[in-house]
Amino acid sequence: MASPSTRGAAIDLKSVSKHYGSFIALDEVSLRIEPGEFMTLLGPSGSGKTTTLNIIAGFTEVSSGSLDVGGKSVIGVPAHKRNTGVVFQHYALFPHMTVSRNVAYPLSLRGIANPDREARVRKALDMVKMTDFGHRFPSELSGGQQQRVALARAIVFDPPLLLMDEPLGALDKKLREWLQLEIKRIHRELGTTFVYVTHDQEEALVLSDRIAVFNQGRIEQIGSGRQLYDEPETLFVGKFVGDSTILRGAPSTSGDETAIDIAGRKVTTAKRLPGGAKPAMLLRPEKLSLARRGMGGRDKNTLPGRIGEAIYLGSGSKYEVVLADMSKAIVRSTLDAETFAIGDEVDLIFAGSDVKLLADDDKADLNLT
């Protein structure tokens, strides 16, 4: 945590489930969020992340399980009594009120009168850099401006908890990247607990102290961005967070070593999967290197392939390599490395120690587009 502020509330979900008829939206989810933490709920659509947010906000009741905010159970407490700020993807500014009146609204509801109210509205608008827009109507603002006003409205009453549901989802990339930094700054300045829902893993990495990766109504893994990238516990997490290459094939084990057969060529790693699960190998792009066919890497794993796509990134290049079994590998190389063209015959080279050996489950094959 950046600051030892105690203004943020802790959130504790224990075995929370949500059923809609026979559909299980959320299946026994447990998650503890520390006071002042920036926690991101990351996952594809329908994974349960928004349901979790709605349960914390009080918009959705749990089917079973417990939810404590700030040490007190809030099960059965209606949304308007939870004192929780919420920022929506669709902004949800009141179109019949000016920016100032929108931001003043939660203060009016709490019986805070002028001049205190005006001062706090101003302070909140200052914080999101919308000071001069108070007299405008939402329809006169751009999407990014509307979302900043919505953010001001959600923090003006000093909630100990701020929930954000894909707040940047409707904005273009440049604006999104800039607002990410703004949100990070505001989090640092306020010390409020932030819970942020997104399906964009890059956004999650930029913003979060910790990330909870959701898939099919369950949490796959909770950890910092670095932990999720370096030590994914499931194949789904490995695929969802960051670029990755996944090698699958007939497995064999001997001693402490696992080998996978890919179109007649064996790759090995000195690791073993506990239990009897079918292993798959996961490799990050920077752990892979390329050489012209037959030009090195004798002591390492090598797989023959052909360059399917070559993308120049400025700081280096990104290659998509089609392997013998038609699966694709993603390789990132630095500027000084040898360059390849589409169609070049290459060897894909990696050390067995850089392999993440993970259980190959069907859940990981979810289409992530």
Partner 1 sequence: MAASATGSRDTGPAAAADDRWRWFRGQAFWLVAPALLLLVVCLGLPLAIVTLRSFSEPQWGWQNYVWFFGTPVNLTVLQRTFAISAWVTLVCLIAGYPYAYVMTVVGPKMRLVLILCVLVPFWVSGVVRTLAWVILLQDSGVINSVIRSVGLGPVKLIRTQTGVVIGMAQVLLPFMILPLYSVMKAIDLRLLQAARSLGASPARAFAQVYLPLSLPGVYAGAIIVFILALGFYITPALLGGPRSTMLSTLIQNQVLSLLNWGRGGAMGVVLLIATFVLLALAAPLSRQPHKTGSRR
- Contact residues for partner 1 (CB under 8 A)? 57-59, 78-86, 88, 90-96, 105-106, 109-110, 137-139, 146, 153-154, 157, 170
> How far is residue 229's CA from residue 56's CA, in Å, rounded to a whole number?
27
Element spanning 3, H or E: none
Report the nearest approach of partner 1 to the CB of residue 147 (Å): 11
On whether the CB atoms of residues 237 and 228 are closer than 8 A, the answer is yes
Amino acid code (one letter) for 343: G
Burial 115-140 (b: 16+ CB within 10 A, else e): eebeebbbebbebbebeebbeebbee
Which residue number, 86 or 259, has a Cβ lying nearer to partner 1? 86
Which residue number, 89 or 317, has a Cβ lying nearer to partner 1? 89
Helix residue spans in the chain (DSSP H)? 49-57, 99-109, 116-127, 143-155, 173-190, 201-207, 225-230, 235-240
Which residue number, 134 or 238, has a Cβ lying nearer to partner 1? 134
Which residue number, 193 or 317, has a Cβ lying nearer to partner 1? 193
Which residue number, 146 or 317, has a Cβ lying nearer to partner 1? 146
Report the nearest approach of partner 1 to the CB of residue 354 (Å): 45
Q: Measured in Å, how far apart are the chain's first and last C-alpha atoms? A: 33
Report the nearest approach of partner 1 to the CB of residue 129 (Å): 21
Report the nearest approach of partner 1 to the CB of residue 161 (Å): 11
Report the nearest approach of partner 1 to the CB of residue 228 (Å): 29
Amino acid code (one letter) for 338: E
> How far is residue 127's CA from residue 80's CA, in Å, rounded to a whole number?
24
Report the nearest approach of partner 1 to the CB of residue 80 (Å): 5
Which residue number, 35 or 159, has a Cβ lying nearer to partner 1? 159
